Structure 1
Amino acid sequence: MNALGAHRFNWLRFDDPRIADFRYFAMEARWFDSVTVYRIASGGRIASNRLVPDDVNLHNVNDMILPLPDVGDPRAPVFVRVDNYAKFRDAPKMRLLESADAPAGFVDDLVFAALLMGLVLAPCILAAMLAFALRQTFVAWYAVVCAGMALTIAMTSGLAASWFSGNLVVFLVFERLGYVLIMFASCQFARDFIERDALSPAMRKALRWSGIFILVAGGLNAGIIQSPALFGFAQLVVVTALIAAFTQALRRGSRWVRYQLVGWSFAMVLVTDIALKGVGLGGFLETNFLIVFYAMVWEIVVVAIGVTDRALMLRSDRDRARQLAAEMENLAERDPLTGLLNRRGIANQYDSLMRRGFTTFALIDLDHFKSINDRFGHQIGDHALIATASALAPDEDTLAVRLGGEEFMLVLRGADATLRAERRRRAITARIADTVPQVDRPVTASMGVVEAPGEDAAGLPFEVLYLRADTLLYRAKNEGRNRYFRELLVFGEPPADDHQAFAA
């Protein structure tokens, strides 16, 4: 068989086919204008069959099959003319067949291709889910790369043709689409995956526009014009941009570019070879799709490790940021001296506390606290405040708050909430006496307690309960201090004094 070149038309000759009774000519699916098969009998009789793209429907295999003309001589040589073959890569495989049925071993090839496709689709699906969770574009571009690989495998391995019959032009458009998606998304992936400080703005623009260039060139070649030179040049532009980006990123100490260098090494060699063949420079490899499939699998495995590595680091960074934010928020809601919640903290948690049954509010104020600061100094005063916080002893049914200065609040739940608040008020005097011996007189506290039971209380603003408790607190101070007043809010009825008690 003579070699097939890239001219307006090419002739091939199959001499003396004696070893078998060949009945069909088969050619790998490629872009062409027409294929004409001639057979010349020893007596000079010539017969021909012609095939054009619109007549080709691929089924089961990716071969275009044309019956050999019958001249009554099975040994007659076969001549084939291919018009306007578009040489985007190596010349298509051509052969004579005894039968139009799928060749032996074809099912095994399909199983192998299906496994490869599953291997590619798995990270594609995971990357799409991860992109949604992390909101990171580089993961989305990786999913597009995998999708392009899956489409390429389906169209070039025979899987697509085994699933449905399709017109040759439709088949070749989708085959080109898969390849273009890989190269376009690879540029965008590299642009977003490599650290921002590892690539200059100009290099990022180069990656973006080289990807757009291959997308436009591929689209034109798939549906409008057949220009192997244009598509080959576009591939060389992409490869050049990627190599330049990788070089710059390495010089700047990029961690992530190493995954791409290792994973894309084989694929970039194959793309360079195909591009050189497209522009007419001949290339340097005799490739087949099995090698391409292996390069895809290698790229998927290595780059998937890199994507996972960076995703885990991003998640770790995000978790640390959230933890720091939570700690900062916690600090903003805590009193730095006593460690108790502050006014902001209780205001933020108020609605939740009411829903959980914390409906008793006890406002506590130390009696004559200013005299402690004036006589013993602010440091001793701070020790007294810390002792007060310790006496208030928060637990699962009691929340302690420092509202400011010597003013504290207890938020309680349970039937004995007021009794527990009173025990803590009384404990303040003993705790200060034990822990702050410099204070030579008893330190007492006054308290105003508001109970707001029932579902209606959930709608009351915090300020309403605080102001009512504050009114009761100042009543206790005005009537002698070291005591508390309590009020039970009954909705629909005017407020009434329920109980008052004096310190022992």
Structure 2
Amino acid sequence: MDWGSVGLGAFLGIALTVGLLALAVYPLVRRSFLLWAAFRALCFAIMSIALFPIALPGSVPAGDFRVDIGEIALSLAIGSTGPFLGAYIENQPRFARVRYWLGTLFIVGVFGAIATALAPLWSGFDLVHDLLLLAMIFGMTAGLTIAVRSGSRFAQYQAVGYAPLIILGLLVLSYELSTGAPVPYWPVAALLAVLVDFIVTSGGVINGYITVKRERDAAWADVSEARIAVATDPLTDIANRRGLALRFRDPAFGRPTALAVIDCDNFKRINDMFGHDTGDEVLIAVAEGLKQENVFPARQGGEEFVVLIYGEDYQRLAETVRRQITLSVLEKVPEVPFPVTASAGLTEVRPNDTLDSAVKRGDEALYAAKDAGRDVLLTWQDGQHRQPRILRGV
């Protein structure tokens, strides 16, 4: 069995897994460090194929060209490690400078790749390539150190994965620069170091996804809670005017059939006789009475409420809701010794209606109900305020 081929195959399988994992997670969290992780995995895979000391098929270029391809891929892989880490560590003001400088390391990696490509024209470019690699390693080490000292948990995590590769790179480059000769079998050691990097990076990708998802879920929860709070009346815990407007135009619930404006009769009497605390309890009881099937209640302000009614039998349902107010207050606020009644103005919701236009007609019918002696429901019909005949005997 050719253990070299087996080892290279296993490494390529891990590199492919890391790259595909990063690309699979990217559409979910849209963080650039995932794209850099996939690019690094590709570059290290190309480097391993080009530099690993095993025989390749005849169709694969050999000799110095194969080595140059490997060195170019190595430069790009190390260079991309900078922006990967810069995008991966916490996006906080205290890390802004180190994130910026880590991002610039990829430019150094590109120049290192160019130096390798030009080496056949002038041998001095090999030295330039090695010096640029050394500069990237020092830059990476400095960036990691600064980020760790600044309290980056992600940098601490990645420092464990990068340590073998950094140590190996410093040893190999120091040997080559001092002796002018390459270190035998250094690609094998590099693959082992990169393997550690891949294992840690994979955990980092998953950890980063979980962290970003947790932050995003928390942000969405905060937004949802804020929206609910803004659209909810704090006393009665039903919708306020804003919540009513949102529901009126919400296509998920369809257009309401009718709208009723309801006002508690002689509410000032309750506040004067029993105090505002009891008055608040009455309003809460009124809101509970309005919670019926196919009815969406909202507090307009003070003792005035608006209900959106869904369904064809809206007249009967509106009267049922109005009468339920008296029963609810009687049950929940027994210290009020007299029945608390309500007047209501009902109108159909027309196809071209806005909430304001429908409420305006409901208000007109409500005022007519008040003038008619209160404790009654009147409908708005072509400018007339009529008590629906369907309500007789209800």
TM-score in terms of structure 1 length = 0.69
Alpha-carbon separation, structure 1, partners of 2:237 and 2:247: 16
| More strand per residue | 1
- Structure 1 counterpart SS, 2:249: helix
1:343 aligns with 2:241: yes
Q: CA deviation at 1:162?
A: 3.2
Does the 8 Å CA contact 1:183/1:238 hold for their aligned counterparts? yes
CA displacement 1:313-372 (0-9 Å, x = unmatched): 221121111111101110111000000011101211222268535322121111122232
Residues 74-223 of structure 1 aligned to structure 2 (within 5 Å): 109-110=4-5, 112-157=7-52, 162=57, 164-166=59-61, 171-196=66-91, 201-223=96-118
Match of 1:328 in 2: 226
Is contact 1:367-1:446 (8 Å) kept? yes
Q: Distance in 2 between matches of 1:199 and 1:354?
A: 44
Alignment of 1:309-328 (within 5 A): 309-328=207-226
Matches of residues 257-406 of structure 1 in structure 2 within 5 Å? 257-281=155-179, 286-352=184-250, 356=254, 358-395=256-293, 397-406=294-303
Distance 2:182 2:93 in 1: 33
Q: Which residue of 2 aligns with 1:20?
A: none
Q: Per-residue deviation at 1:502?
A: 8.2
Distance 2:304 2:184 in 1: 86
Kindly indicate whether residue 335 of structure 2 is the aligned counterpart of residue 442 of structure 1.
Answer: no
* SS of residue paired to 1:162: coil
| Alignment partner of 1:467 is 2:360 | yes
Which of the numbers 461, 477, 494 marks the counterpart of 2:370? 477
Question: Structure 1's 431 and 195: CA in aligned 2 closer, same or farther, altered over 3 A?
Answer: closer
**Structure 1 residue 183 displacement after superposition:** 0.7
Q: Name the SS for the 1:334 alignment partner.
A: coil
**Cα distance in 1, alignment partners of residues 370 and 93 from structure 2:** 68
Q: Secondary structure at the match of 2:237?
A: coil
Give the aligned residue type for 2:340: V
Aligned to 1:64: none
The 3-state SS of whatever aligns with 2:246 is helix
Deviates more, 1:221-230 or 1:325-334: 221-230
- What is the distance in 1 between the residues matched to 2:41 and 2:56? 20
Secondary structure of 2:288's match? Answer: helix
Q: Which of the pair is proportionally richer in helix? A: 2
* TM-score, reference length from structure 2: 0.87
TM-superposed CA distance for 1:312, in Å, is: 0.6
- Shift of the 443–201 alpha-carbon distance from structure 1 to 2, 3 Å rule, reads closer
Query: Alpha-carbon deviation of 1:465?
Result: 1.6
The corresponding residue for 2:312 is 415
Alpha-carbon spacing, 1:342–1:394, altered in 2? closer, same or farther (3 Å)? farther
CA separation of 1:199 and 1:323: change in aligned 2, threshold 3 A: closer
1:487 shift after superposition:
4.5
- The answer to whether the 8 A contact 1:447-1:485 is kept is yes
In structure 2, distance between residues paired with 1:382 and 1:470: 23
Residues 391-445 of structure 1 deviation map (CA, whole Å, 9 limit, x = unaligned): 11244x2211111111112222223332122112112123223333443432211
Name the % identity.
26
| In 1: Cα distance, 2:360 partner to 2:108 partner | 70
Equivalent residues of 1:232, 1:277 under 8 A apart = no
Matched, 1:427 2:353: no
For residue 352 of structure 1, give the secondary structure of its aligned residue in structure 2. Answer: coil
Unaligned runs of 5+ in 2: none
Q: What amino acid is aligned across from residue 103 of structure 2 in structure 1?
A: R
- Secondary structure in 2 matching 1:212: helix
AA matched with 1:443: V
Moved more, 265-274 or 153-162: 153-162
Q: Is the 8 A contact 1:232 1:274 kept in 2?
A: no
Read off the aligned partner of 1:481 and give its amino acid letter: R
Whole-angstrom CA distance in 2 between matches of 1:184 and 1:466: 65
Q: Once the 2 structures are TM-superposed, how far is the Cα of residue 120 of structure 1 from its aligned partner?
A: 0.8
Query: What residue is the counterpart of 2:146 in the other structure?
Result: 248
AA of the residue aligned to 2:20 = I
Residue identity opposite 1:150 in structure 2: A
Q: Deviations over 1:276-318 (max 9, x none)?
A: 2443446896434333222222211112112211321221121
Alignment of 1:23-62 (within 5 A): none
Give the one of 124, 130, 136 matched to 1:232: 130
Relative distance call for 1:287 and 1:167 in structure 2 (3 A) is closer
Cα root mean square deviation, aligned: 3.1
Deviation at 1:460, TM superposition (A): 2.8
* Cα separation, partners in 2 of 1:171 and 1:274, compared to 1, 3 Å: same
* Secondary structure of 2:236 counterpart: coil
Q: Cα 1:503–1:332, aligned 2, differ >3 Å: closer, same or farther?
A: farther
Structure 2 vs 1, CA of residues 188 and 160 (structure 1 numbering), >3 Å: closer, same or farther?
farther
